[in-house]
Amino acid sequence: MSPNISRRRFLGQANCAAISSLPLLSTLLNLKVAGTVAAATNPTGDYRSLVCLFLSGGIDTFNVLVPRGPTEYAEYAGIRGGIALLNNVLLPINPLGNPGLQLGLHPALTGIQSLFENGNAAYVANVGTLIEPVTKIEYNNGAKRLPLGLYSHSDQQEQWQTSMPNLHTARGWGGRTADMLKSLNSLNTVSMNISLTGTNIWQAGETVFQYTAGDGGATLKGYDKYNKNKRSTVPIRTAAVDSQLAFEYQHLLTETFQSQKRDAMGASELFNTATNVALPDGVAFPNTSLGNQFANIARIILGRGTLGHNRQTFFVEYGGWDHHDDLLASQAAMLPEVDAAVKAFYDCLTAMGQQNNVTLFTSSDFARTLTTDSDGADHAWGGNHLVMGGAVKGKQIYGKYPSLALNNPLDVGRGRLIPQVSVDSYFAELALWLGVPKSSLPLVLPNISTFYNTSSSSPPLGFMA
């Protein structure tokens, strides 16, 4: 590179080179250039956030939401065999608008039962990844396209986070949403996409990436300008970093790196200041990994004014659901932690007056086979998912709860059920609520037009107020 090249020209060339090397040119950026992206909506300046609780490993959701009616329970017990829950231990729920449908929740979900019955939670039944609608006959004869790597953990986790079942991408639908909505925030020093459990695809966009909260956020390990302990190595490391940052570098790449380092440290300091707040009196989160993460989300929400955020997303991962064996005991041990954390989070949001502004939804790789291999289940397809919040039209089941009879019209083998609701429709409902205009949904969810007419006056599923 010539030493006479200007800084502006260098940076411009570097940016163009980076863009041209992308395997998939951003449709969003192209349309922004063309001026065809509808403006994000925030008519009242209100605050809204989405919380994705990703249950990685493939949770058995048909032992979470279970049929209780005599005929339906007999079908369930018949196909599930030794992993069937007893009918008399199920927690009954009474969904509105589903006459004759009797369902129950896993006995560990007492908090979620109360949220559902009080109208603050709902379930979306039999949702999963789809490229296009498919019947059992079409599945068997290969007449329709199927998601890449169906039944594969890595592929399906990616597709649940990207909503792109026909190709691999490192950009998630939460990231694409943030690319579109970040202008609603008055400050973006700290990303509106905040992860409590490290990096993820869901929150990765073209211009917005996740800020990882906890364990110092994005700051430098061993850097603390307030540490004056002469017996500690931290002041020495801090002075060295300060000296490095103060140096005027001639090499533009090094200077750019230093600038990014400064930005990360500034973001970390702002984040730590914003979240140094007390939760409302009387609010108690369980002292578990999940409980502590939800408590941190509550503090971040309380600090949103300092962060300058009117829109936020949060990502929490709770893994270990790949129960090929010991399914009943494993769920009995794990589901109480989910239930207690979710219920405490809603109670805290209520105490904060934010219950109508925050919506939690669950995702997972896939559901599990209805049939069992001894005391576990294998990888499957469509499953049931929770949405929770004051803006949710609760106490309802969205989509149709499927028949669990062996070899039913949705069963493509071993109780693997074809989804009747696509993840695109599920996520579109949430993206619209957050502020994405209907006409811009295809930029966030490229496959949505297969399942939903964005010109329709009706919502994709209707579970958000």
More confident residue, 18 or 143: 143
Residue 99 has pLDDT above 90, yes or no: no
**Residues near 79 by beta carbon (within 8 Å), at least 6 away in sequence:** 370, 371, 404, 405, 406, 415
Residue 383 has pLDDT above 90, yes or no: yes
What pLDDT score was predicted for residue 19? Answer: 34
What pLDDT score was predicted for residue 374? Answer: 87
pLDDT tens per residue across span 130-143: 999 999 999 999 99
pLDDT tens per residue across span 272-329: 999 999 999 999 999 999 999 999 999 999 999 999 999 999 999 999 999 999 999 9
Residue 24 has pLDDT above 70, yes or no: no
What average pLDDT does the chain have?
87
What pLDDT score was predicted for residue 41? Answer: 54
Residue 354 has pLDDT above 80, yes or no: yes
Q: What are the φ/ψ torsions at residue 42 (nearest 5 degrees)?
A: -155, 65
What pLDDT score was predicted for residue 13? Answer: 37
pLDDT tens per residue across span 169-219: 999 999 999 999 999 999 999 999 999 999 999 999 999 999 999 643 344
CA nearest neighbour of 199 among 187, 215, 213: 213
What pLDDT score was predicted for residue 225? Answer: 59
Residue 84 has pLDDT above 70, yes or no: yes
pLDDT tens per residue across span 436-447: 999 999 999 999
Separation CA 19–CA 334 (nearest Å): 43
Residue 259 has pLDDT above 70, yes or no: no
Could you tell me the domains of the chain? 47-213+282-317+333-450 (3.40.720), 220-274 (no CATH)
Classified as helix, coil or strand, 41 is coil
Tell me the chain's radius of gyration from C-alpha atoms.
24
> DSSP readout, 193-240?
EEESSS--STT--SS---EE-STTTTS-TT--TT---TTSSHHHHHHH
Q: What angle do CA 7, 9, 10 make, to 5 degrees?
A: 65
Mean pLDDT along residues 231-249: 57
Q: Write out the two tokens for 153.
A: 């953990």
Q: How buried is residue 228: exposed, middle or buried, by Cβ count under 10 Å (0-12/13-18/19+)? A: exposed
pLDDT tens per residue across span 106-125: 999 999 999 999 999 999 99
Residue 367 has pLDDT above 70, yes or no: yes
What pLDDT score was predicted for residue 94? Answer: 96
What pLDDT score was predicted for residue 100? Answer: 85
Residue 261 has pLDDT above 90, yes or no: no
Lowest mean pLDDT among 94-98, 345-349, 432-436: 94-98
Beta bridge partners of 464: 392
Separation CA 206–CA 175 (nearest Å): 7
pLDDT band at 243 (very low <50, low <70, confident <90, very high): low
What pLDDT score was predicted for residue 226? Answer: 60
Beta bridge partners of 317: 54
Mean pLDDT along residues 399-413: 97
Beta bridge partners of 212: 195
> Cβ atoms within 10 A of the Cβ of 136, count?
16
What pLDDT score was predicted for residue 216? Answer: 37
Separation CA 434–CA 319 (nearest Å): 26
pLDDT tens per residue across span 148-174: 999 999 999 999 999 999 999 999 999
pLDDT band at 359 (very low <50, low <70, confident <90, very high): very high
Residue 227 has pLDDT above 60, yes or no: yes
CA nearest neighbour of 328 among 10, 48, 85: 85
Percent of the chain with pLDDT over 70: 80
Separation CA 234–CA 53 (nearest Å): 36
